[in-house]
A and B are shown apart, each in its own frame.
Chain A
Amino acid sequence: NAGVTQTPKFRILKIGQSMTLQCAQDMNHNYMYWYRQDPGMGLKLIYYSVGAGITDKGEVPNGYNVSRSTTEDFPLRLELAAPSQTSVYFCASSYVDDTQYFGPGTRLTVL
């Protein structure tokens, strides 16, 4: 049971490039989330999903897109990378009891 996995661990992008952050979970959780963590700050919710085919915006969705075609996977897409998107990105999943399980994170730098 791998839990929540994220790839890549690190990435450097140039302004205007695009990329997809991958997230997968093997716990059969319905709910999945993407957060970003900026230095000295708590995590802020970008997007979430309550099941395959259903996604919704969180607190800071601008500049990102998501899809949820399967229960297991919840990729996060950056279309036109900007320096403001330099952050650490965490994916999480949960079942019905509120406890969220987090992946190890992806550290993204946009130059």
Chain B
Amino acid sequence: GDSVTQMEGPVTLSEEAFLTINCTYTATGYPSLFWYVQYPGEGLQLLLKATKADDKGSNKGFEATYRKETTSFHLEKGSVQVSDSAVYFCALTGAVGGGADGLTFGKGTHLIIQP
């Protein structure tokens, strides 16, 4: 079945550092790829998405490019802030069922930004 693997955390960085969170996937067909963010005590919020190969999703300074050849969707940000501290989830859907049958999530990466 489909699966998502993302780097284990916690990841601790200083403010203004460069961020990369790795995400790779296994899926049959052509999934859509997502990054969701969860702030403490809250539900998940969509951060960005990409629906086909070579698409780049971007939002709030975060970017990720859908790489079909390496089955990857790594999250990057050039300069992180303390307010970026959260848990980040890579997810996919739609590989076979067209998206109606739910998201497959990675385990999440806890990001801690120190001032």
Contact = CB atoms under 8 A, between A and B. Distances in A.
Interface of A: 4, 31, 33, 35, 40-45, 48, 50, 56, 58-59, 90, 92, 94, 96-105
Interface of B: 4, 32, 34, 36, 42-46, 49, 51, 89, 91, 93-94, 99-103, 105-108
A94 B99 contact: yes
Nearest to A94: B99
Contacts, number: 62
Contact of A33 (B49, B51, B102, B108): B102
A90 B99 CA distance: 18
Looking at B42, B99, B101, B102, the one whose CB has the most chain A CB atoms below 10 A away is: B102
Given A99-B49, A102-B43, A31 B107 contact: no
Contacts of A96: 99
A63 B74 CA distance: 36
Given A41-B108, A90-B43, A100-B103, 5 more contacts: A33-B103, A35-B102, A99-B49, A100-B46, A103-B43
Contact of B89 (A42, A94, A99): A42
